Structure 1
Amino acid sequence: MAKPLTPDICVIGAGNGGLAVAMGAAANGAKVVLVDRLTPKENLARGDLASAAFIAAGQQVQTIRKDSTFVAAHTEHEVDFKAVMAHVGDVVSGASPAVFPARLATLGITFIHGQALFVSRSRLMAGEAEIRARRYVLATGSKPIVPAIAGIEEIGCLTADSVFELGRRPGHLVILGGDAAALELAQAFHRLGSQVTLLAEERVLADEDPEMVSVVVRQLRQEGVAIKEGFKVASVERRGKTGVKVLREGEYAEAIDGSHLLVAMGRAADIEGLDLKKARVALKDGVVDVSAMLRTTNRRIYAIGDVTGARSAQAARRQAERVLRALLFRLPAKDRTPVSRVVRTDPELARVGLSEAEARRRYKRLTIVRWPFAENDLARATGRTDGHVKLVVARSGQLLGVTIAGANAAELIGIWALALSKGLTLRDMAFSVPPHPTTGEIGKSAAMAYFGAKAQSPLRRGIVRLLRLFG
């Protein structure tokens, strides 16, 4: 039998977070083994990069259609769906050489393609390889949840992981779910020529501010995406040779016919096959239980990303940075830096910090400040005026959270994430000088609106009148 591998760190999972830990540790001279049953390229093909490429293709088609405003004669543009999927593949392939096993080896990382299995608190098997690492990092991510709906096992379904394997464009895509992936894919497929019906048990994006979500939902409906909220599925069945029928539960009988079924009803921690019991790693509410230091109930094992319940690539990467500090430099991994959340529809929805509802549960008095895209010069020039910025401010003037619904919200939220992490004040934001004309000025305008409201107070107006007396 081959000699056991004894790295400083063994990372289990080659997704965003796992790669960040492995590369960061290797760059600092640590001996690293990276294990995954998927190759890094296969992880990329299922991740945010593939989704972003697909969404971008839909947005490009929409842009071409909008440009017809300035063209005398307009003909409908037929979408080449095979070319779209080839584009997604090219984007993934363009990024994947950086994480090929041979490339990882040049960085000092040993990649093992196989299922990881703990055999004790400190030993791991991956295929024929035995690993005895000083520390382990669980970064196995998540997998789509497919609920136990009557008939779904018989007819099968697409998920957010498998949908990019489609060879033909769906005629009528029926999507079950109302999370970010559901809305993103609904809009992208509709823009690429599919009829789309989205069925959600409760309101879509239930964790986000309803006021801001309405901006996104309104646009999707205007484009032609059918969105039915409060739709609880009773069963699904085959319609004809290849189609599907979704039946509604309850007194209002309703059936939705489609050509393809996609389930986007959340994700669950991907811990299948790891045998975490032998590693003495406890679970809590279906995810790996970690401390504020990201350490599991086994002190030799840390966990990051979706497997801990952190539901975004940016959260996983931030946790990767924290774990590296703990593993390499023995520095505290505690961190209260807020991580932004993004829904990549068009218009986009982005948030950092507390929503209004979350803030009202913690604070007695709040100030809510809004500023519309329609008041921004560049937004008007480009015709992207839907949406607004919403600031949640404590009585003391402390900025608690920011939500943006509008064009390029994912880019605009970055400066607010920095402001919250560094404790910048609204005065700092109001006195910033963004270039003109840009949509970045919307944030400055929102901050200035806060002080504009304060300027109406009798005390401030009295001070101004008094100072007039001195010339």
Structure 2
Amino acid sequence: MKTLKTDVLVIGAGSGGLSVAAGAVQMGARVVLLEGHKMGGDCLNYGCVPSKALLAAGAAAYGQTLGAAMGVSPIVTKSDYAKAKDFVRSVVARIEPHDSVERFEGLGVKVIQEFGRFISPTEVQAGDTIITARRVVVATGSGPFVPPISGLADVPYHTNETIFELRDKPAHLLVIGGGPVGMEMAQAHRRLGCAVTVIEGQKAFGKDDPEMAAIVLQKLRDEGVSIVEEALAQNISGMAGNITVETSNGTFKGTHLLVAVGRKVNIEKLNLDAAAIEYHRGGIRVDPGLRTSNRRVYAIGDVAGGLQFTHVAGYHAGVITRAMLFGLPAKAKVDHIPWATFTDPELAQVGLTEAQAREKFGARLDVARFDFSGSDRAIATCKTNGLIKVMIVKGRPVGASIAGAGAGELIGLWAMAIANNLKMSAIAATVLPYPSMGEINKRVVGAYFSPKLFESLMVKRVVAFVQRFIV
């Protein structure tokens, strides 16, 4: 058995783990990185990257059917599903070198391609190596949760970890789960020529603003995606090519099944009890600084039990790097964290939804709204199907909800505003190019200030005084 001593040991080479390893080694720390599966983690191999590539393939096919309003005759497209998957693979392959063993070893990181497990509060074993580190970072992420539905284990099904390897186009894809993963895959497959039925036990996009969710859901329905809500899956039967899902709201048949009901944290291989690290079903218990009950050990990203997004893992990496390397106090916050679903139209949120803000602030809350149909750029590009709402308290945004083209890009301005406690006046003072979709953010600010300016008797009196007496 070999032994190693290091400053920082990172368990998991997903987004968060790679960020910690790269940052720490380049600032002079000795770093060991453990990964027993694929470098790049879920995001690169099974999540963000391949899903957006498949969505792009679907968008390319769907785009050929549009254009009549612009004088371009629509054409009937024929999608090659296997070649679309080749494109997805090529996108992943193009990004892989950035997350590779070779790159990180080139930076000076000691990479061990084995799973890590604690054997004591101060030691981790990986294969035939025992590592002792001043600080350990657990960044093992999460995987697809497979619910205990009767019959599911006896039927072939896909999760996000297998759907991108499927080469034969499904004639009819059944999707259990109406969250971001399920809805993105539903639209991508529909646009590539599959019949699609989404089965959701509660409400689709249940964590998002209902008004915004309704905009996206209607568009998917208009494209031919069948979305059934309040339909809890109770029994699944059949075989490859002929699958039946019985629910509390009807029975549905299809050729293929995708299970997309949520995530489970990857902690089963860690042997956390040996390290005196407290955990629960939702993840490892951490304090505001992301430290576990074992003060030598931090947990970041999905495994820390909070918001499960790649960019959150990256943010966590920055928080703990300041603490580990410089001894600076650092706490992770959540109120400035945005998220987006990359359907068409996109759906994005940061901070509080309208319902959450009304519950918290009551009559102190202002809500500014602007419809995409009022944007000159949206009109010129036929992208008027959308809405932005900003929740404001005492002149400062506390949340923003967007449904529409480019929502994932537009939400960035509001994430910055909330993170830096900016006032609406700061957004108003920002000059944006015309005509751009970004102007939608300025227009909603105008919707907030307009009543205060144009309906104020005091403002009108001041203006009248100036016009009468000031030369």
TM over 0.5: yes
Superposition deviation, residue 68 in structure 1: 5.7
Q: Pairwise CA RMSD of aligned residues?
A: 1.6
Q: Which residue of 1 aligns with 2:396?
A: 398
Q: Which residue of 2 aligns with 1:296?
A: 292
Give the Cα separation in 2 of the matches to 1:99 and 1:371: 40
Q: Is the 8 A contact 1:231 1:248 kept in 2?
A: yes
Change (3 A) 1:73 1:393: closer
Give the Cα separation in 2 of the matches to 1:294 and 1:72: 54
What are the residue-to-residue correspondences of 1:279-358 with 2, within 5 Å?
279-308=275-304, 309-336=306-333, 338-358=336-356
Q: Is the 8 A contact 1:13 1:139 kept in 2?
A: yes
Give the Cα separation in 1 of the matches to 2:465 and 2:159: 67
In structure 2, list runs of 5 or more residues that go unmatched: none
Q: Is the 8 A contact 1:322 1:335 kept in 2?
A: yes
Superposition deviation, residue 198 in structure 1: 0.2
What are the residue-to-residue correspondences of 1:3-402 with 2, within 5 Å?
4-40=3-39, 43=42, 44-67=44-67, 74-238=74-238, 242-249=241-248, 254-308=250-304, 309-336=306-333, 338-365=336-363, 366-394=365-393, 396-402=394-400
Give the Cα separation in 1 of the matches to 2:437 and 2:332: 30
Give the Cα separation in 2 of the matches to 1:426 and 1:347: 26
Give the Cα separation in 2 of the matches to 1:166 and 1:150: 24
Q: Which amino acid aligns with 2:385?
A: D
Change (3 A) 1:422 1:372: same
TM-superposition CA deviations, 1:204-226 (whole Å, max 9, x none): 11111101111110110111100
Q: Which residue of 1 aligns with 2:435?
A: 437
Give the Cα separation in 1 of the matches to 2:40 and 2:319: 25
Superposition deviation, residue 415 in structure 1: 1.4
How many percent identity over aligned positions?
A: 38
TM-superposition CA deviations, 1:178-220 (whole Å, max 9, x none): 1111111111110111110001011111111101111110110
Q: Which amino acid aligns with 1:323?
A: I
Give the Cα separation in 2 of the matches to 1:335 and 1:117: 26
Q: Is the 8 A contact 2:171 2:255 kept in 1?
A: yes
Superposition deviation, residue 21 in structure 1: 0.7
Give the Cα separation in 1 of the matches to 2:201 and 2:437: 35
Give the Cα separation in 1 of the matches to 2:332 and 2:283: 20
Superposition deviation, residue 238 in structure 1: 0.5
Give the Cα separation in 2 of the matches to 1:144 and 1:344: 19
Give the Cα separation in 2 of the matches to 1:156 and 1:385: 41
TM-superposition CA deviations, 1:32-72 (whole Å, max 9, x none): 11112212156421131111111111112112221465577
Give the Cα separation in 2 of the matches to 1:461 and 1:202: 51
TM-superposition CA deviations, 1:280-300 (whole Å, max 9, x none): 111145211110001000000
Change (3 A) 1:285 1:363: farther
In structure 1, list runs of 5 or more residues that go unmatched: none
Give the Cα separation in 1 of the matches to 2:74 and 2:433: 35
Q: Which amino acid aligns with 1:315?
A: V
Q: Which amino acid aligns with 1:389?
A: I
Q: Is the 8 A contact 1:41 1:92 kept in 2?
A: no
Q: Which residue of 1 aligns with 2:419?
A: 421
Q: Which amino acid aligns with 2:131?
A: I
Which region of structure 1 is more displaced relative to structure 2, 254-263 or 282-291? 282-291
Give the Cα separation in 1 of the matches to 2:71 and 2:459: 54
- Secondary structure of residue in 1 paired with 2:434: coil
TM-superposition CA deviations, 1:64-115 (whole Å, max 9, x none): 2214655776541100111111111111111111222122111111111122
Q: Is the 8 A contact 1:120 1:278 kept in 2?
A: yes
Q: Which amino acid aligns with 1:34?
A: L
Give the Cα separation in 2 of the matches to 1:460 and 1:383: 38
TM-superposition CA deviations, 1:392-436 (whole Å, max 9, x none): 011x22211111110011111111111111222111111211001
Q: What TM-score, normalized to structure 1?
A: 0.95
Give the Cα separation in 2 of the matches to 1:466 and 1:203: 55
Give the Cα separation in 2 of the matches to 1:397 and 1:107: 46
Give the Cα separation in 1 of the matches to 2:24 and 2:315: 15
- Secondary structure of residue in 1 paired with 2:66: helix
Give the Cα separation in 2 of the matches to 1:74 and 1:203: 34
Q: Is the 8 A contact 1:41 1:93 kept in 2?
A: no
Q: What TM-score, normalized to structure 2?
A: 0.95
Q: Which amino acid aligns with 2:251?
A: A
Change (3 A) 1:72 1:297: closer
Give the Cα separation in 1 of the matches to 2:277 and 2:224: 47
Change (3 A) 1:112 1:257: same
Superposition deviation, residue 458 in structure 1: 2.8
Q: Which residue of 2 aligns with 1:412?
A: 410
Superposition deviation, residue 331 in structure 1: 1.0
Give the Cα separation in 1 of the matches to 2:72 and 2:438: 33
Q: Is the 8 A contact 1:310 1:316 kept in 2?
A: no
Q: Is the 8 A contact 1:378 1:437 kept in 2?
A: yes
Q: Is the 8 A contact 1:431 1:444 kept in 2?
A: no
Q: Which amino acid aligns with 2:384?
A: T
Which region of structure 1 is more displaced relative to structure 2, 5-14 or 98-107? 98-107
Give the Cα separation in 1 of the matches to 2:339 and 2:14: 19
